[in-house]
Every structure is written in structure tokens, then in C-alpha cells.
């Protein structure tokens, strides 16, 4: 029996946004790692792990993952917040890593074994104009990615108007551009009309709205995009407005993906059990780790919903590995968001999953299969302010909810 000896956090990347938990045991050389990555609140999550939750777990049997998960979850009394969920999720990943090492098996074997040969991923294409976008989509397709996300630039792209071209308040705040729902409704369907004309209906394409639209416009966009047969439309509503999925479902067949902002089962369970969405996109660490996410995947299987665990630019190789093992062993898996790392970052995380030709491949090492070289990881840290809040605004100066 391996007992938990110490739990600490190693910080990497600008602002220390990669917060990697290391759970050490009383067995020499036996430890596990997990991701507590938070680009906005890395210090808060680290404090929760190192000063609050970690010390309470010292001396417990590291093998009793379910019991530790349930006791930490309910010990907070107030639960399902993003900070404590992330802290718990990281420790949970590390405990599964330890269990795999003790068993001498990769994590996907503990979860039931592979039910696919590798994990298909979607790539992120964007362009400032349609020609640049179609070139980028083709680049991802040629690389082998079976699904490609298509965006007109960054968050909210397609919905921005030059600030000096619209009616604005006298002495309104300084802005170069403003977000406008109607511009978005005009430009994004045109983008897919163009892409389908140029690429046909073979390529599987998605689009991420980044929750920018007012709810009734989310319904309208879903309907307008129906003829272009998306693989899925992502984050068309913010978490506060998910009841609107009932109206979307009643009016069109555009497949819906959401969940990267979810932390609470009350958000995702009704959407899955009422078949109001097609893909659930929680980030493994934010949902509380492998323990709840394997239950989400099992729930999805019974209702025909698929998983598309969130990754993307601010994620790390440890969270990616956790998602990959779940993907490999789950029959309700749909698609995995891709993430790529620099050579220096891969050096700091030996055993990181290999992404090649649009597919993610595990190694056969026990546990998560990825480790951390602490010296190299710490060398990746740079001082910088944590990412601020999103500041896209409408013409009247009000914030667009991301």
C-alpha cells in the first residue's frame, strides 16, 4: 500500500499558468502527476492544493481514488466551483497515474482497454479573410486532421465592426472595433457557404462561437448554418443560457458542442440526458479529473452523446494525456481537440503523447505515460501577469460575455 507523503505544485510557462501537481508516496520512486492548469488563477489553485487540500491527504492510501475524490469533493461543503474542482482534478489525475504505475499498466488499460487504435483530433484553422482561411483549412486536412475548426480570426471573428463605422455614445470608451451580433450572423454563414463551395461537403468542419451571441441569435445562427452540415457548432450559448438548447433542438439539426466552461453536473447532466447536445466538451481537470470524466463518458454512451474533451492553447501535456486515455477507452468518444507543444515544452514533459497526421498516440508506459522534468519545467516559467478578463465589447461599451 502506497501512502500519500506530500503534494506539491510545479509551475511553468508565462505567469506559471501550467500548474502541475506531484503526489509523492512513501514508496521510493513512486509518484503521480496531474494538471491544475489555470491561465487566470494559477496562484489560487496552487494555494488550494499546497496549503489546504494536500496536507489533509497526507497518510491516506493512494489507491483509494474514489473514496479520496468523494471525501475531498464533499469536504468543501460548497462544491463544484472551478478552483476547487481544478485542485481536485489534478490530484485525481495524479492518483490514477500512481495506480497505473503500481499495476504496471497504461491508464487506458485500467479504464477498460483501447476501443480505438489512436485518438483522432481536430485542428484549428483561421484566416483574416476567406482565402487565407480556406488555405489554412486545406493545410490541416492535408496534414491528416479528420476534423477542422474554422474561424475568421480570433474570438468573435466575423462579428467585429470598425468602431468609427458605427453609432457610438458621445465620449464612449476608446475602442478600435466593436462586436455586433448581426455582423456575425451575416459573415459566419457566408464563411461556410464559401468553404463548402471550395471544399465540398467531404471535410468535417466545426465553428466556435465563443459564447458571443445573444441567445435568440444563437438560435438563428444554428438555423442559418444547418445547410452547411457542420460536424458541430461549439459554444453557441454561454453557460448561463443553456436552457435555450431546447429551442435550438426543436428548430434545426446543427450538431451542438458545449462544456469547456462547465464545472457543475447540473450544467451537463440535463443536456446529456435530455439529448439536447451532441458533444460534451468539459476540460478534464476543470470537471474534477478522470474520476468524474469517465462517468460523464459512460453517461454519454446511454444517451448517444459524444465526448470532445477541451484542449487548446493554454493546456499542458498532462491534461492532454488524461483526456487521451479516456478517449482511447470510451465508446462514446467523438473527437479530441488538438494541442501542440514546443520542443522545450516536450523536453520538460518526457513521454508526452505524440500527435502525428491528425491522430494522438499514447506510449505504453504505466499510468499517464508522461512525466515532468522539474528543472526543465521550471525553466519554462516566465514572469507575466495572469491573463485578464475578456474585453470584447458592443458599440454601447457593454462587455460581451465569453
- Which parts of this chain interact with Mg ion (CB under 5 A)? 208, 234-235
Q: Which of 40, 41, 73, 155 is catalytic?
A: 155
**Which candidate, 44, 26, 163, places its Cα nearest to that of 98?**
26
Q: Which is nearer to Mg ion, 20 or 400 (CB)?
A: 400
Least CB distance to Mg ion at residue 234 (A):
5
Grid coordinates given for 373: 522534468
In the sheet that 18-25 helps form, which strands lie side by side, from edge to edge? Answer: 4-12, 18-25, 31-35
Q: How far is the CB of 46 from Mg ion (least distance, A)?
A: 25
Nearer Cβ to Mg ion, position 180 or 235?
235
Give 192 or 279: the residue with its C-beta nearer to Mg ion.
279
C-alpha cell at 382: 516566465
Within 10 Å of residue 171's Cβ, how many Cβ atoms? 5
In the complex, least distance from residue 58 CB atom to Mg ion, rounded to whole angstroms: 37
CA-based radius of gyration for the chain: 21
Measured CA to CA, the distance from residue 25 to residue 94 in angstroms comes to 11
Cα–Cα distance, 231 to 137 (Å, whole number): 14
155 is catalytic: yes
Cα separations in angstroms, 284 against 165, 228, 319, 366: 42, 30, 7, 20
* CB-nearer residue toward Mg ion: 20 or 133: 133
**Minimum gap (Å) between residue 235 Cβ and Mg ion:** 4
Separation CA 330–CA 314 (nearest Å): 25
CB of residue 250 to Mg ion, shortest distance in Å: 24
Residue 396, burial from CB neighbour count under 10 angstroms (0-12, 13-18, 19+): exposed
- The smaller minimum CB distance to Mg ion, of residues 208 and 267, is found at 208
Longest dimension (CA), the chain: 70
CB-wise, 208 or 392, nearer to Mg ion? 208
Query: Which alpha helices (H) appear in 159-213, and where do they start and end?
Result: 181-199
Q: Among 124, 207, 210, 212, which one carries the catalytic annotation?
A: 210
Q: How far is the CB of 211 from Mg ion (least distance, A)?
A: 8
Residue 135's contacts (CB-CB under 8 Å, 6 or more residues apart) are 127
Active site residues: 155, 210
Amino acid at each position: 500500500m502506497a501512502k500519500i507523503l506530500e503534494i506539491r505544485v510545479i509551475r511553468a510557462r508565462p505567469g506559471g499558468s501550467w500548474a502541475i501537481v506531484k503526489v509523492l508516496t512513501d514508496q521510493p520512486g513512486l509518484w503521480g502527476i496531474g494538471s491544475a492548469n489555470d491561465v487566470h488563477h494559477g496562484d489560487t489553485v496552487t494555494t488550494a492544493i499546497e496549503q489546504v487540500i494536500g496536507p489533509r491527504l497526507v497518510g491516506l492510501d493512494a489507491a483509494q481514488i474514489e473514496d479520496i475524490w468523494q471525501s475531498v469533493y464533499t469536504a468543501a461543503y460548497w462544491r463544484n466551483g472551478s478552483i476547487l474542482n481544478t485542485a481536485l482534478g489534478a490530484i485525481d489525475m495524479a492518483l490514477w497515474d500512481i495506480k497505473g504505475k503500481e499495476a504496471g499498466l497504461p491508464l487506458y488499460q485500467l479504464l477498460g482497454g483501447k476501443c480505438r487504435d489512436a485518438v483522432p483530433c481536430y485542428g484549428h484553422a483561421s484566416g483574416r479573410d476567406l482565402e487565407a482561411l480556406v488555405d489554412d483549412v486545406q493545410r490541416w486536412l492535408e496534414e491528416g486532421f479528420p476534423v477542422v475548426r474554422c474561424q475568421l480570426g480570433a474570438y468573435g471573428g466575423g462579428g467585429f465592426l470598425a468602431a468609427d463605422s458605427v453609432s457610438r455614445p458621445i465620449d464612449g470608451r476608446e475602442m478600435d472595433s466593436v462586436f455586433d451580433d448581426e455582423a456575425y450572423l451575416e459573415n459566419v454563414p457566408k464563411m461556410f457557404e464559401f468553404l463548402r463551395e471550395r471544399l465540398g461537403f467531404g471535410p468535417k468542419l466545426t465553428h466556435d462561437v465563443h459564447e458571443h451571441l445573444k441567445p435568440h441569435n444563437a438560435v438563428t445562427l444554428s438555423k442559418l448554418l444547418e445547410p452547411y452540415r457542420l460536424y458541430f457548432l461549439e459554444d453557441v450559448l454561454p453557460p448561463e443560457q443553456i436552457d435555450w438548447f431546447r429551442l435550438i433542438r426543436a428548430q434545426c439539426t446543427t450538431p451542438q458542442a458545449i462544456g469547456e466552461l462547465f464545472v457543475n453536473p447540473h450544467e451537463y447532466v440535463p443536456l446529456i440526458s435530455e439529448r439536447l447536445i451532441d458533444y460534451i466538451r468539459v476540460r478534464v481537470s476543470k470537471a474534477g479529473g478522470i474520476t468524474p470524466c469517465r462517468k460523464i463518458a459512460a453517461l454519454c454512451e446511454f444517451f448517444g452523446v459524444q465526448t470532445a474533451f477541451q484542449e487548446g492553447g493554454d493546456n499542458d501535456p498532462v491534461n492532454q494525456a488524461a483526456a487521451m486515455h479516456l478517449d482511447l477507452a470510451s465508446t462514446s468518444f467523438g473527437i479530441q481537440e488538438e494541442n501542440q507543444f514546443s520542443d522545450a515544452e516536450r523536453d520538460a514533459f518526457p513521454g508526452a503523447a505524440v500527435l502525428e497526421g491528425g491522430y494522438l498516440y499514447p506510449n505504453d508506459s504505466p499510468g499517464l505515460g508522461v512525466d515532468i522534468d522539474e528543472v526543465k519545467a521550471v525553466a519554462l516559467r516566465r514572469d507575466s501577469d495572469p491573463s485578464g478578463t475578456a474585453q470584447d465589447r458592443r458599440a454601447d461599451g457593454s462587455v460581451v460575455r465569453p
